[in-house]
Structure 1
């Protein structure tokens, strides 16, 4: 038997504070850019962000503010089940995302945005951003908190859990939007959850 097989796998080194800060800043920026692309194309997404989109489209409330408020109840669950540090990082991440969503339109605009490209690219950006946050011990609240909890406690893959809930939420898009936009919104949800499902597994790195 080779020495390589006998050598135990070293435990992953914990992230430093600076690494966690850059992870939150970068992950939230990726997600926020995806959210802005969804909004520009008139599309929806899943999770609590999808509920925030519905509120934004129907009532006209600022998307960033709604996104922050709607996640508040999930912090209680996260605090009890997933730890204080995780919940604090999640609170910071949702706050950052809410700020980014309101600030990004002042920094970047889309003169032309193909809706199919917007659905796929926004989903990929959001999924990558969420993956970065998960690997730094944070989330964007809501469904992601529940998905991580079930992955850690029951071995259910987080991407599959999130995808199932997202599709239920996205079904409401058919009631408030046209069929094309509703279908494209589902395409975006698939792109988002494929990134998480492929890259975040129980036998792979969680991030600490």
Structure 2
């Protein structure tokens, strides 16, 4: 299940409201899971899709900090998020992205890996990212990114959101071959599949509805 479909489901749901404390702990837990997943992928030289994929490419090509780039890339999407989904979602997404970016940069000072198999790292990193995003989605937040842009373009110009998302991810995948071997790109695709399997199996409107 793509992020744009999950965001669409958020708009159509009849929610049961979370408390402020519940939202705060969820965003922190989600950020911790996502940051650990990113650290696994980054330590194994892997990539991802969406704005995280752009941050990975920038990190590998120019050595710029992943967390800072990921935070900066998401800035233009907050206006679209506010117009498309609402202020509460936008604020929580901004906090989620900020905390995730900060933890991602800080974590390597405290955690190191001696050996990482790319395929195993992709699967575990993907599962961690998927579960972190799942926590965000269940509290009406996200990691920002192209899903919001895809929904906006669909509403504004009639371009199918799925095609926009697919096109952007395909561009990232194509550019990935400039900074990584085909095997690393293949392993990264497995990680992306793991993320989407976690979301597709566990994020269903008929099983869990809340804000």
Tell me the secondary structure at the aligned position of residue 85 of structure 1: helix
Residue 138 (str. 1) matches residue 141 (str. 2):
yes
1:17 aligns with 2:20: yes
Higher relative contact order (CA 8 A, sep 6+): 2
Normalised by the length of structure 1, the TM-score is 0.84
Listed as ranges, the matches of 1:4-153 within 5 Å are 13-146=16-149
The whole-number CA distance in structure 1 between the counterparts of 2:110 and 2:74 is 26
Deviation readout 1:59-101 (Å, 9 max, x if unpaired): 1111110000000010010011100000000000000011011
Deviations along 1:138-175, one digit per CA (max 9) or x if unpaired, are 0010124357889xxxxx999x9967754552232123
Aligned residues: 194
Cα pair 1:47 1:142 within 8 Å, conserved:
yes
Counterpart secondary structure, 2:178 = helix
Larger radius of gyration: 1
TM-score (norm 2): 0.82
The CA RMSD measured in Å over matched residues stands at 2.7
Residue 169 (structure 1) aligns with:
172
Distance 1:137 1:161 in 2: 22
| Alignment match, 1:6 | none
Shift of 1:111: 1.3
